Every structure is written in C-alpha cells, then in structure tokens.
Amino acid sequence: MDRVIIFDTTLRDGEQAAGASLTSAEKLEIAKQLEKLGVDVIEAGFPISSPGDFEAVQLIAREVKNCTICALSHATSEAVDRAWEAIKEAKRPRIHVFLSASDIHLMYQLRKTRDEILELACDMVARAKRYTEDVEFSPMDATRTEPAFLYRILEAVIDAGATTVNIPDTVGYAIPAEFGDLIASIIEKVPNIHKAVLSVHCHDDLGLAVANSIEAVRRGARQVECTINGIGERAGNASLEEFVMALKTRSDFLKLTTNINTTQIYRTSRLVSEITGFVVQPNKAIVGANAFRHQSGIHQDGVIKKSITYEIIDPKSVGVTASSLVLGKVSGRHAFKERLAELGYTLEGEAFERAFKAFKELADKKKEVTDKDIESLIAEEKRTASEVYHLDHVQVSCGDHSVPTATVRLTAPDGKVLADAALGTGPVDAVYKAINRIIKVPNKLTEFTVKSVTEGIDAIGEVLIRIESDGVSYTGRGASTDIIVASAKAYMNALNRLLLAKKEQKK
C-alpha cells in the first residue's frame, strides 16, 4: 500500500489556538512523544515570531533525531534566515515557506499583484533551498485561489526548488468532493508536480478537515498536515488520530498506510491535553472518554458476546486498555507499578514514591481507584515536579451564615514555610486571595472550569483555570477529591508557570 507522510503541526498551528501557550520544555516534551508516536515531520514552530519560539525550535532540532524537523517562515529574507538558524542542527531539517495566494488575501491583506506574489514565492523558496534540500511551500488560502493561478505558482516554486507543495484550506472552506477535484486537477495540470510531494493542510471550520484530508489522499496527495486532538487556529485542524485510524481501519477501501505507532495515540492525546489545558470532549472520536464505553443494553449485550458487533477499533490498538485492574487501599507498590506500566507510564525513585503516596491517600477515600484516577494522579505528579512554590496546606471555613475564610501554607523556593489567611466572596475566592497575599504577582483570573474525572460521589474533581499577566495567558490544572483543594492546586500550577516564564525572560 502507498504510504502517507504524517506532518504534525501541533507545536506550531496547534499552539496558535486561542489560550494555548507552551514553554520550550513543554514543547520538547510533546516533540519527544510525537517522535515515539512515529510522525514523519514535526513542525516545531515559527522561529521569527518570538525569541522563545526560536529557542524552542532550536532545542527540538538538537534533541529529536528520528523525525524531520520543520520551521515555518514568512516569505521574507529575515524569516527564512531565522528559520534556518533555528533548525540547522537538525538531523533532517526542513524550511516551510508560506505566502497568500487568493485574490481576497492579495487585495485586502498584502496589497500585492499576482506577479509580485509569484516572484516573491520563487525568490524565498530559492533562498531556503540554499540552506537545505528539503523545502516546502504553501500558497495560503489555496481553496479560494483561482485554480489557474494556483497551478502557475505551484509549477514555479517547484522549479525554484520546493520538494513539497502544500495545499492549505486555510479557512476550512472546502467541501470534500470539491477539494478532491482540486487535488486531482493539480496532479493533471501542474506539469512538474511529479518532482514534489503533494500535501494538504485542512482546517475544521465546517467540521470537514478530516473528511477533506481523506478525500485528498484518495485523489493523490501523499502528505497530510494535522494536529493531536485537532487543536489549532479557530475551530482547529485535521485531527491526527482520526485521520490515521480512518486509514488503518478502512485500509480495505483506501489502501493507504502510515508510519504511526497507533498504540501511542491515547498517551499522546492525554499529554497534549494536559500541557495545553484543552480538555478532550467525551464523545471525541478515538481518544474521547466515551470512545470505547457502551451504555445501551443492546450494545452491551453485543460487545460482551463479540466486541466487533459495536467496536470497529480495538481499544488496545490506540493505547486504551480494555481491561480494568481494580486497585484499592490494600494494593502494594508492585501492583501499582504494574498498572502504571500497563497504562504506559514509567516512574522511578522519588517521582514513583510521591505518586504511590498520593495513590494510597486516594485509596483511603475511595473503594476503587480507576485508570482515570491513576492518570489524574500522574498528571498531578508532573505538575508538582517543577514547582516554584508548593501548596502544603489549605483550610476553609464557609456556610450560608458565615464569611468564607481560607488559610493556606506554602513552601517557598528557599524551603521557608509561608502562611496567610483571607476572606472572600466564596471559599475558592478566599483561597486565591490568601495565596495572592503570599505570592505577590499581579494577575487576572479569566477562566475557571470544574469537571469530574470519574463517576460517583467520591470522584476526583479536576479544575482548569487560566490567568492573565502582562497580556500573556497561563493555564493551571489541579485534581483532588476535594474541589477546594483542586482549585488551590490549579491556581498554584498557573502561578508557578507564570513565575517560571518570568524567570526565563530575565535570563
């Protein structure tokens, strides 16, 4: 079967999603997981956009060896040069030049003629080609570009040295049949198209990004640009996990394959969700909490008798365990470590001991500890591993005839224990005010969300918050069976991210 190249742009287009902001360390962690997942190309960022993004791309280029590392570039000399500086240490570097091509963009945004665009595109591709053999070009808003001009610009940039030409449905405007026809016409009418890989990059404004991507490869494209969980600008991008599993599940029809290790899909999804703070909706295909859960009695009866009656995908094939090992307060270290391994986690030394202690504390409060409970504990362990201030203790007093009061105790970076108390309009407000009295960093709370990780009255509650400081948004998450404690942990997580970011800026 023909192989489709998987180009992952979670770290570039995915980070453009409103509210997403990743540190260099977080980007590297995701990049290494994408390497385990088996993606062919990682678009690590947009180096000229900021010093922080340049450093992140440079770090990934140095550390990740088994993927092509791509840097995005405007069609300017400075951007191309900056992109190369960021990726020049990569084992397999790629520069991705983009430039608007539609008359809408040319008239209202760039105010340039088609001939000017054509000349600029060729010049910048040629400039990138002087640095690396692997050059990609994207005519932005291709699906609203006059086809004749699109053919012309593609032919010209291939002659200038582009080895991949990407057709972006930048605003998610295309309908599958229409998009497929466009791909077929490019193959037919661009005379040198055989000298380049034909790629697509679809947005989900009409919910058709994956459908358009599938139709594109069915009609001849051989690279698809996508993101984990479908995150990205506006409504997001084509979802990697949905596209890959569609090809795998319907290989009988599509006769296409990828290099993706699908057993790493679920873990990659959880990692991206945890770091970005974007919760995966329960009914999300492949990686949603309900993707392999059956409630209907008829469905349950069928699955018990033979799973394929209502499951077209084996949960294990995407890294979701179908079995459920019941863990409780009498379970020991070995059982806990075995369960971690089955879920794909490896913890050693102090990290394992902290997680095991948290597990025992939770097991004392719950009859059974589920897989989702364990995943939440591991996420909490990772959040506390790089703290500046640590939450030691939180206590609240509230009621319908009392003023909510909170006392908090924190451990400072120098090991000093700090404590304070505050009044608030509610218990969470009081906790946050008490923390602010200790950590004097001005910020504004812009989002506060609570959800249940598991079912039942003893469920772990997870709190997601976003705070803003100096125009930059920081995400925090916290989990506990006590929602007030979870709220405090989430706020501390966001503040610690803010403090670490300011510390990096001062270097």
Mean predicted confidence (pLDDT) in 441-460: 84
**Secondary structure (3-state) at 381:** helix
- What distance in Å separates the CA atoms of residue 148 and residue 342, rounded to the nearest whole number? 54
Average pLDDT over residues 346-367: 82
Sheet holding 405-411, edge to edge: 390-397, 405-411, 417-423
The predicted model gives 390-418 an average pLDDT of: 92
Q: Which residue has the higher pLDDT, 331 or 147?
A: 147
- Alpha-carbon span 365 to 177, nearest angstrom: 55
Two structure tokens written together for 389 = 């201030």
pTM of the complete model: 0.76
Q: What is the mean pLDDT of residues 489-499?
A: 91
**pLDDT score at 152:** 97
pLDDT at 323: 41
pLDDT band at 312; cut points 50, 70, 90: confident
Percentage above 70 pLDDT, the chain = 94
Separation in Å, CA 253 to CA 1, 198, 317? 11, 21, 19
Residue 110, pLDDT > 70, answer yes
* pLDDT for residue 295 is more than 80: no
Nearest alpha carbon to residue 71 among 93, 100, 38, 40: 93
pLDDT at 475 exceeding the cut of 70: yes
- Please give the structure tokens belonging to residue 370: 């589920």
CA distances from 489 to 65, 273, 304, 359, 485 (A): 36, 17, 40, 17, 6
Q: Return contacts of 272-276, CB within 8 angstroms, 24+ apart.
A: 272/10, 272/14, 272/30, 272/228, 272/229, 272/231, 273/229, 274/379, 274/382, 274/477, 275/22, 275/26, 275/29, 275/30, 276/14, 276/15, 276/17, 276/20, 276/22, 276/231, 276/475
pLDDT digits (tens, 9 = 90+) for 274-290: 999 898 998 999 998 78
pLDDT of 370 strictly over 90? no
Token digits of residue 413: 């970076």
| 38-50 pLDDT, tens digit each | 999 999 999 999 9
Can you give the pLDDT at residue 136?
98
**Percent of the chain topping pLDDT 90:** 66
Q: Count of CB atoms within 10 A of residue 260's CB?
A: 23
Interatomic CA distance for residues 257 and 262, integer angstroms: 12
Residue the block writes with tokens 């009914």: 283
Our measurement of the distance from residue 324's CA atom to the centroid of its chain's CA atoms, rounded to an integer in Å, reads: 27
Min mean pLDDT across 10-19, 73-82, 185-194 is at 10-19
pLDDT tens-digit series, residues 153-173: 999 999 999 999 999 999 999
CA distance 257 to 246: 10
Q: How many CB atoms lie within 10 A of CB 371?
A: 17
The fold of the 2-276 domain, in CATH, is TIM Barrel (3.20.20)
Q: How many CA atoms lie within 13 A of 284 on its CB side?
A: 22
Neighbours of 438 (CB within 10 A): 16
List phi, psi (to 5°) of 8: -95, 125
Q: What pLDDT sits at residue 324?
A: 40
Give 191 or 451, the one with higher predicted confidence: 191
Confidence of residue 356 (pLDDT cuts 50, 70, 90): confident
Question: What value does the mean pLDDT take over residues 22-31?
Answer: 94
User: In which region does residue 255 sit, left (phi positive, over 0), alpha (psi from -120 to 50) or beta (all else)?
Assistant: left
* pLDDT attached to residue 297: 59
Residue type, 117: I
Cβ atoms of 102 and 95 closer than 8 Å: no
- Distance CA(15)–CA(37), nearest Å, equals 19
* Residues in Cβ contact with 491 at an 8 Å cutoff, skipping those fewer than 6 apart: 431, 432, 435, 465, 467, 476, 478
Give 157's Cβ-side CA count (13 Å radius). 33
Provide CATH 3.30.160.270 ranges for the chain: 386-506
Rounded Cα–Cα distance for residues 96 and 72 (Å):
5
Q: Is 327 helix (H, G, I), strand (E, B) or coil?
A: strand
DSSP string, 425-490: SSHHHHHHHHHHHHS----EEEEEEEEESSSSTTPPEEEEEEEEETTEEEEEEEEESSHHHHHHHH
pLDDT tens readout for residues 199-245: 999 999 999 999 999 999 999 999 999 999 999 999 999 999 999 99
Q: What is the residue-wise DSSP string for 2-59?
A: EEPEEEE-TTTTGGGSTT----HHHHHHHHHHHHHHT-SEEEEE-GGG-HHHHHHHHH
Mean model confidence pLDDT for the chain: 90
Q: What is the pLDDT of residues 241-273, one digit of tens each?
A: 999 999 999 999 999 999 999 999 999 999 999
Least confident of 23-32, 89-98, 174-183, 471-480: 471-480
SS3 state of residue 367: coil
pLDDT at 89 over 90: yes
- Work out the average pLDDT over 171-193: 98
Residue 461: HSE in the Cβ half-sphere, 13 Å Cα cutoff: 16
Please give the distance of CA 269 from its chain centroid, rounded to a whole number: 7
What mean pLDDT do residues 463-487 have?
A: 90
- Asked if the 386-506 domain carries CATH number 3.30.160.270, the reply is yes
Residue 385 has pLDDT above 80, yes or no: no
Q: Where in the chain is the domain with CATH 3.20.20.70?
A: 2-276
Cα–Cα dist 22/272, whole Å? 10
User: If you average pLDDT over residues 399-419, what whole number do you get?
Assistant: 91
The mean-pLDDT minimum among 8-17, 52-61, 496-505 falls in 496-505
